[in-house]
Amino acid sequence: MGRGSRPHDAYPTAPPRPPSRWVSWLVPVFLVANVAAFAATMYVNDCPKNARVPSLCVWREQLGRFAFQPPRENPLFGPSTATLLKMGGLDVNKVVHDHQQWRLISSIWLHGGVIHLLANMLSLLFIGIGLEQEFGFLRIGPLYIISGIGGSVLSALFNKSSISVGASGALFGLLGSLLSELITNWTVYANKCSALMSLVFIIAINLAIGILPRVDNFAHVGGFISGFLLGFVLLMRPQFGYVSRNNAPIGYPTYTAKRKHKIYQYVLWIIGAILLVVGFAVGLIMLFRGENGYEHCSWCHYLSCVPTRFWSCNQQQPPSTCTTSQLGNNWNLTCSGSGKTQSYVLQNATEYRIYELCTELCS
């Protein structure tokens, strides 16, 4: 060994070992849970038994009680609105006035139909598998759930007239986390601008779909913002050039290694955490006070629907509320929005059955 040489110079060291990737198991569990929830919803729905005209149920002979509602009622091939409400769909009145806050979580596991379910589950696999392999289930699990709740909160603040279901808020949270992960881990990426432009383009396309009528884009935006802020908190990587002692080969000069994180990463972590906590606190306080988001943001309706010459944003589904009168088994329902009246003969009528008929009458 020559004079003045360091011990590590005697070894032709190999490059540091890359960190191992996680095995993705939580995202497939989420997928199974969503599919199981949809199957349970269709079992409870039992269109041939509960529909006013059973012969209109889609694939009644082949699927039995799992048959879909008539396309005129649900073009996504799924259950009735009343069943979604019964299974835990997001209804602002029940969350605020009946203290059923659990609907903010249960609604993210329900879907309006097969088409809705397939679209969301393909997105979950496409985005979620890679994220879990890279960051592990302890980060992706809370990211998915909290983003879904964030989407539910914003949806409940603005969408007062219909039932909201779907994992879209959680999925947009995963998209938002991809963007913040790219920003906070900027030094790790080789083709930075290319990765940023590609990701922004994908996000813009998905958010743009939400400005179509009858799409709850507030759940998308709420989930995206929640995931974007959570990404700064949960997905921070060591900076480029940092070598963990666990991954360094024998003789590697660890004393020359860089600091684990850059200062700006800690700054973004703090800002993201503060904005996330404050945003959830303000949103939940406004929600449980029964406030309408439009009273504080008059232009926010453009986030959910932009009128064009091809469609009108005024053609949203009216609130499904009816006045009722009963004489024996005869029920008379009058839609509060349109004034239409219909009489029904019902035995052992339940709240959900009345709601289902009211929805059909008002649609």
Give the residue numbers annotated as catalytic, written as ranges.
168, 220
d(CA 289, CA 293): 11
58 near 77, Cβ under 8 Å?
A: yes
77 near 67, Cβ under 8 Å?
A: no
157 near 292, Cβ under 8 Å?
A: yes
222 near 150, Cβ under 8 Å?
A: yes
Angle between helices 217-234 and 168-184 (to 10 degrees): 40
d(CA 289, CA 196): 39
CA angle 166, 74, 356 (to 5 degrees): 90
CA angle 155, 212, 217 (to 5 degrees): 20
3-state helix, strand, coil in the chain (%, to 5): 55, 5, 40
